[in-house]
Structure formats: structure tokens, C-alpha cells
Amino acid sequence: MNSKKFLGIFLALTVCILGCNAFINYKYDTYGVFDKDFSKLRPAYLNERFAKMDFLLHEGKGKFDTFIFGSSRVQKFNPKLFSESAYNLGYSAGLPFDYLRDLKTLVASGIKIKKIYLAVDDFSYKRLPEEVSSNINFVGYSGFSDNLKYKTVLLLRFPEKEQFKYMQNKLDVYKLKYNINIDGSVDVQGTDNDSDIDLKNYVIDERFKKPTVYSERNKRTQAVIKEIKEFKRICEINKIELVVFMNPTHIVTYLSDDKNNLNEFKRELAKVVDFYDFSTINFMAHCIMKLHT
């Protein structure tokens, strides 16, 4: 076989494989980037950073004027308790870096915002943006070229085993199934649903004896304060009412935090904006039924 023929066969196979990958990844999209029917139960968490912003800038544009920014600790907040026109923009491992990017995008797109609730966490100053963004499911909605690059990567990557089960509609094999409501809140069906919980065993589960730990060496207090300061500045320029609060933290995690670093962060935050502090030991800190660690 001559080299030209070999090269032709190789290129044809490559195109065929990439084409098959693209078809499967597009049609059986578990990330919510191509398949925007969020009412579907899926076997994996959507990329909420991308999916929610994409929705707000297109199908949901102009329908909401109040937004809840935060991490997974606000994902189950009912937006209707804040406003009839509120949207829950919470997503897993959310950081002020993410919130600032999304606020800039919303404002630049002409979306009229009346009020924002900004939730800050004990890990906000300990998690690195580059570490979070390296997760393909945590890539944020950005400019056209970056969004195109992200979509291309999703299309051409080899499908995951979950997608093949998703193709066969074998959702019953998953302990958790997940979807996003029209107002941005999430539903998770499975072993963490109240109706499925064995309360006596649940409260003594091993996971609640272990804190969620992020290295204090990654402390980026000043960088985060700068991001929140810029977030506030944009709100002021656009006459957006801003309400800031620190999320409750599970007592096990709270007790494991370096209190000097945590209090330093709070003092610096207080210099920039008034905020409600729910992060100390309180009823919610003990309420493992409703609170992530």
C-alpha cells in the first residue's frame, strides 16, 4: 500500500470517528450545551454555568430581573420566595470570579436587572478559578470564540459511558437524576430526596463526619475582594440593588476552617459591602438534611 493511499484511508477513518463522536455528543448531550430541554432527567449534572447563561441570553431574555448568584449551596433556593421574576443562577463550585464574568455578560447583553442576591462561601477565597475552570463541566459562558472552542471540544471528544446508557434510556441505573427548572432552581431525584431518606441512618452517615476541605495555602483573599468590589461597582453604575450574604456552612466544615483566614476575609469584605453572615454555628449549620458540607 503506497503512502498516499494509506494517508487517504487514515484521514477517512479519522473523519468517520470524529463524525460519529460529534453525532453522539450532540444528540445525547448530558451537559445541556446543545440539548436545551432542561425538563429532561439526565444521568449527570449539566454545565449550569454555560446552560443557564445561554438560556438567559436567548430563550429567557427579558423574563427575569432579579438574580441569585451563588454556589451549589443556593441551587435549591426557590426563586419565587425572592421575587416572581427571580432566577436562580447558582451552580456547582461557583466563585466570585464566575459571578463577575456572568454579571458583565448580562449587563453587556442589555438585560435589565433590578436586584441581585450574591451568596459568598467559606471557600470563595480558597478555590482557584483556574482549578475550577479546568473541569469541562465548569466552563463558563464567554465570548463567541471561547464558546465555539468549548462546543468543538465537547463535540469531538470520545463519548462517556454515561452517554451510551443515556442513549438507551437506562436512567434507572443512576442513583441520582437531575434537571433544571425554568426559574433556574434544580431538582435532584434519587437517594438524597427527602422521601427516599432513612432518617435514622442518614444523620449518622459517614460523609457528615468529614469536612469539605480546600487548602488554605490557596488563599486569594485580596483577589476575591477585588472581584466583589468590581461586582458592586457594576451594580452601582447600572442602579442594581445588591444584597450580599455568606452562606451557612455545615458545622463540621466550619470547625475545620482556619478561623483567622475566614475572619480576615470577612473583615475585608465588610470594608467593601454590607453583608448578612450566616456562616457561623447556627441552626442551619446543624441541619444536614438541607445543607451541603
For every residue of 108-140, DSSP letters joined together read HTT----EEEEEE-TTTTTS-HHHHHTSGGGPP
For 21-41, letters b (16+ CB in 10 Å) and e give: bbebbeebbbbbbebeebebe
What are the pLDDT tens digits along the chain (293 aa)?
Answer: 577 777 777 788 888 888 898 988 898 888 889 988 877 767 667 899 999 999 999 999 999 999 999 998 898 889 999 999 999 999 999 999 999 999 999 999 999 999 999 999 999 999 999 999 999 999 999 999 999 999 999 999 988 877 777 777 765 555 556 678 888 887 766 544 444 555 566 556 666 677 777 788 888 999 999 999 999 999 999 999 999 999 988 778 777 788 899 999 999 999 999 999 998 876 554 554 444 44
Residue 239: left if φ>0, alpha if ψ -120 to 50, beta else—which one? Answer: left
DSSP SS3 for 290: coil
DSSP SS3 for 64: coil
Integer Cα distance of 49 and 283 in angstroms: 30
Integer Cα distance of 168 and 135 in angstroms: 26
Dihedral sign for Cα 208, 212, 216, 219, please.
negative
Strands 66-70 and 115-120: parallel
User: Which residues have C-beta within 8 Å of that of residue 175, sequence separation ≥ 6?
Assistant: 190, 191
CB of 16 within 8 A of CB of 8?
Answer: no
Q: Any idea what the Cα angle at residue 246 is, between residues 79 and 184, rounded to 5°? A: 25
Dihedral sign for Cα 32, 38, 43, 46, please.
positive
Q: Please give the pLDDT value at position 265.
A: 95
CB of 116 within 8 A of CB of 242?
Answer: yes
CATH of 46-135+171-286, one of 1.20.1070, 3.40.50, 3.90.1580, 3.40.30: 3.40.50
DSSP SS3 for 67: strand
Integer Cα distance of 142 and 207 in angstroms: 35
Cell for 212? 469539605
Tell me the three-class secondary structure of 231-258, residue by residue: HHHHHHHCCCEEEEEECCCCHHHHHHCC
Q: Please give the pLDDT value at position 191.
A: 46
Q: What are phi and psi of 242, to 5 degrees?
A: -115, 125
Burial class from Cβ neighbours inside 10 Å (0-12, 13-18, 19+) for residue 250 reads: buried
Count other Cβ atoms within 10 Å, centred on residue 12: 10
Q: Please give the pLDDT value at position 3.
A: 77
pTM for the model: 0.85
Q: Please give the pLDDT value at position 293.
A: 44
Q: Please give the pLDDT value at position 187.
A: 72
